[in-house]
Amino acid sequence: MTTLSQSQCGNFWKDGFLRLENVATHAELKTLRSVGDRLLREKAGFNEGLLFDFYPEGEGPEKPKLAQLHHPSHFERSLLEMDLARRAQRVAMQLLGPKARFVSDSFFHKPSHTEAVTPWHQDEAFTDPRIEHREVNFWFPLQPVSLQNGCMQFIPGSHLGPVLPHGPIGGDPTTHGLECTSGFESKDAVICPLQLGDCTIHGGRTLHFAGPNPSDAPRYAYSMVFGLPRRASSEVRTFPWNDNRKLSRDQRVHESRRAQGSFWPYLYRKVKEFDYTNPYEWRLGAHRVARLIKKGRTPAK
């Protein structure tokens, strides 16, 4: 499938999510599985903080409860050269308009025989509340998924309300993952089992969840996010759950950027991602530079 019907577009904006069949070929999924296996096995991005556990990292990188590799296309550029990425972008443009562009991608690995869930959350809860993010997330399982191994579940219409209160999983400020703490009824969830080649699409404010994986095989998934150019939020809001957090991967990020020769690849990626056509991005960039200069001038105590 490369285009949506008018009714599918309408259903997406009514419910905040959509289930699509036969979007990816089995050959594409085999390639994704092979690349994901290799990058996770090599622990690509761990030092940069791009590979992390959604849960507290107490047991280190060897036994993650839910491993996420953010921006795998930084390490395997061919992921964005696949026809699948182009087909997904065309669908995203139908939903968001012609200016929709690729934002990020991720691999997810949920081990077999795990009770760990992906808790109810809204993706927008992870972002800066001063910025309006208008995005859609394509989620491709790399094997059939059902309730038995942790398929996606959604709360219809949750994207029409505000970003609900969240907190770090278990109240642990070192964990990357957030969980929604109130404002919804899980009994309203729609369960979305998928076959190979199918995917779900959800908005950044749509509440979603994925259950445990008690099956004998790990559950893999690959996601791609597309969005419109960022702009200032039209409302004054705060996400206090993101304040004073001390993510376990922050130290890795800091050390990686200070390591000899490591800052330049990081800077190159940031420059490559920069949207030169968006005046708001220039404002954000100027603020970042000003903070860095101020930080550099602040005497050590």
Angle at 77 between CA 26 and CA 251, to 5 degrees: 115
- In the three-class reduction of DSSP (H, G, I as helix; E, B as strand; rest coil), residue 270 is classed as helix
* Contact by Cβ (8 Å): 166, 178: yes
* Contact by Cβ (8 Å): 249, 52: yes
Task: Quick: pLDDT tens for 168-208.
Answer: 999 999 999 999 999 999 999 999 999 999 999 999 999 99
Residues of the chain with pLDDT under 50: 300-301
pTM of the model: 0.90
Supply φ then ψ for residue 91, to 5 degrees.
-65, -45
Q: State how far the Cα of 204 lies from the Cα of 16, in Å rounded to an integer.
A: 9
Length of the chain: 301
Q: Tell me how far CA of residue 198 lies from CA of 91, 98, 136, 226, 279, in angstroms.
A: 14, 24, 16, 18, 37
**What single letter denotes the amino acid at residue 26?**
H
Task: Quick: pLDDT tens for 33-55.
Answer: 999 999 999 999 999 999 999 99
Position 264 scores a pLDDT of 61
Residues near 100 by beta carbon (within 8 Å), at least 6 away in sequence: 89, 92, 93, 136, 226, 227, 228
